Amino acid sequence: MKNIKYILPVVLGLGLFSCKQQKTAMDCENKIELSDEKQDFLGITNKDKLSAASKRALLWDDELIYGNEWFFKYETYDLKGDFAYEEGVVRRDPSALIKHDGKYYTWYSRSTGPSQGFGGDVVKDKVFPWDRCDIWYATSVDGITWKEEGPAVLRGEAGEYDDRSVFTVEIMENDGMYYLCYQTVKNPYSVRVKNQVGLAWSTSPNGPWTKSKEPILSPANNGIWKGEAQDRFAVEKKGDFDSHKVHDPCIIPYNGKFYLYYKGEQMGEAITFGGRQIRHGVAIADNPKGPYVKSEYNPISNSGHEICVWPYNGGIASLITTDGPEKNTVQWSPDGINFDIKAVVKGAPHAIGLNRTADNEKEPTEILRWGLTHEYKNYDYQYIRGFRTERMKHHTAKGVVKGKEISVKDQK
C-alpha cells in the first residue's frame, strides 16, 4: 500500500507559492496528488480533513518541499583599512564588487556630519544620512582591507536634477564600459521631493565618469497631493507604486537588453498587513544609456527594500528584504518579470553589495557567499562591513553530529 496517491481539489489563491514555474493560474485549479510520502513529510494527520495551511502546503512545488538550495543563514563582520568605523563619516549602500587588475572595486554613498531631519531648514540642513552625499569608491586586494580611492561621481551644480545628493549606487560592467546608476535628489530635500535615477559611464573603473544630462528614470506622475503642507501621507490619489520615489537602481544585462530594477515608493505610502507598502519595478532599454521604458507589468514584487538581483539558470533571482508581506524571501523569475518565491529566510544583510565575480550558476545563492553590507552604528553614522552566508542543510542540538547515534549514557 506504499505511495498511495489521493486526488485533492485545492482552492486557487490559497498558496504563497505557485503550483509550478511558468504555469498559468488555471493550472493551479487542477487536482493535486497527495502521496503517502508527501503526507508523511508534511505531517498531515488526515488526507480527508485539510486545514487552510495544509492546502497551501500542497500548492508548493516538490523542489520547495524537499529542497533547501535556496535557503541560507548569514553573519556579518568588520572590515579593515578605510572601511573600519570612522566617527563623523557616513559610508553606506555599497555597490556590487567587481575585479579589475587584481583588485576588488566597490562604490558607495559618502557624507559627513550628523543629520538634522525635517524639523529645521530643509534647504541648508542635512535631513538624512544619505543626504548631501557624493559617490566614492574603494579598492581591496583581499576583500578585507580596503583603501578609499576618492570621489567618483559628485553632486551636480546648483539647479541641476542631482544638486542635493547622489547616493545608493550600483555598478555594471558591459562590453568594455563601466556604468554607475544611482539615486538623485534636487534641492530642497523636502518631505514631498521626488527622487530620480542618474547614470554615469567610463572606460575605466577609476574614471573619469561622464554623467547623464537628465535622469534616466523618474517617478510616475499620476498621484495627486492633498493640500500644500509638506505631508507625504496626505494624498487625493496615490498613483502608481512608484509615484513618489524611484530608489536603489540596479542594471542587469539580460536577454540582449538592459533591465533596470528599482524600488518604488508610492505617494501616501501606507502600512498594511505586511508593513510598509514597498514594491519593486523594472524598466528596460536596448542600450545601457537608455531610454528606459517601465514594464507594463509593474510592480513585479509585493515587497522588498534594497534591490538585490542576479542572473541564474536563464532567469533572474531576487532577494526581497525588510518590507511587505513577502519580506525575507528569495525569489526567481524565468523572464525577469514574473517572480515566484523559492525560499523564506530568517533574515539578510542590509544593502547587499553582491560579489559579481562569483560563479552565480554554481548554485542559486552562490553569489551571496560573501560580499558587502552596511550597519548602523547609530542613526547618524553607518559604516561598511562584510557578510558571509552558508546553506543550511540540517539542524542539530549542540554536540550532536548528524548521522551519529547517541546512547542514553552519552546524553546524561
- 33-42, 161-170, 393-402: which has the minimum mean pLDDT? 393-402
Q: Where are the beta strands (DSSP E) in 67-141?
A: 72-77, 80-81, 89-92, 98-100, 103-112, 134-140
Residue 186 lies in a domain: yes
User: Does residue 368 sit in helix, strand or coil?
Assistant: helix
Per-residue confidence band for 31, with pLDDT thresholds at 50, 70 and 90: low
**Is 55 exposed, middle or buried, given 0-12, 13-18 or 19+ CB atoms closer than 10 A?**
middle
Do the beta carbons of residue 198 and residue 215 sit within 8 Å? yes
Answer whether residue 73 shows pLDDT above 60.
yes
* 126 or 60, greater pLDDT: 126
Same domain, yes or no: 32 and 50 = yes
Same domain, yes or no: 40 and 125 = no
The pLDDT value recorded for residue 322 is: 95
- 62-66, 99-103, 292-296, 384-388: which has the minimum mean pLDDT? 62-66
Same domain, yes or no: 240 and 183 = yes
Same domain, yes or no: 273 and 150 = yes
C-alpha cell at 135: 559617490
The pLDDT value recorded for residue 404 is: 58
The whole domain housing 28 covers 6-66
Percent of the chain with pLDDT over 90: 82
Residue where a domain stops, chosen among 16, 40, 66: 66
Answer whether residue 236 shows pLDDT above 80.
yes
The pLDDT value recorded for residue 403 is: 63
* 342 or 23, greater pLDDT: 342
Answer whether residue 24 shows pLDDT above 60.
no
Please report how many Cα atoms fall inside a 13 Å half-sphere around the Cα of residue 396, on the Cβ side. 11
Q: For the chain, what is the mean pLDDT? A: 90
Residue where a domain stops, chosen among 30, 49, 66: 66
Per-residue confidence band for 397, with pLDDT thresholds at 50, 70 and 90: confident
Among 301, 304, 231, smallest CA distance to 268 is for: 231
Same domain, yes or no: 172 and 28 = no
The span from the CA of 295 to the CA of 301, in Å, is 13
Same domain, yes or no: 58 and 79 = no
Alpha-carbon separation of residue 163 from 123, 131, 250, 376 (angstroms): 12, 11, 21, 26
Among 254, 252, 257, 292, smallest CA distance to 172 is for: 252
CB atoms within 10 A of CB 289: 15
pLDDT mean over 342-349: 94
**281: which strand partners?**
262
The span from the CA of 361 to the CA of 129, in Å, is 36
Same domain, yes or no: 61 and 81 = no
Residue 401 lies in a domain: no
Same domain, yes or no: 340 and 385 = yes
- 56-65, 204-213, 258-267, 287-296: which has the minimum mean pLDDT? 56-65
Answer whether residue 409 shows pLDDT above 90.
no
**245: which strand partners?**
265
Same domain, yes or no: 32 and 152 = no
The pLDDT value recorded for residue 331 is: 97
C-alpha cell at 325: 508581506
The span from the CA of 153 to the CA of 107, in Å, is 10
Reported residue count of the chain is 412
One-letter amino acid identity for 399?
A: G
What CATH number does the domain containing 331 carry? Answer: 2.115.10.20
Helix-strand-coil percent breakdown of the chain, rounded to 5?
5, 35, 55
Among 291, 344, 292, 298, smallest CA distance to 321 is for: 344
Answer whether residue 10 shows pLDDT above 50.
no
Give tens-digit pLDDT for 277-321: 999 999 999 999 999 999 999 999 999 999 999 999 999 999 999
One-letter amino acid identity for 33?
A: E
Domain count, the chain: 2
Residue where a domain stops, chosen among 44, 66, 88: 66
The pLDDT value recorded for residue 23 is: 45
Among 312, 293, 412, 397, smallest CA distance to 362 is for: 312
The pLDDT value recorded for residue 77 is: 98
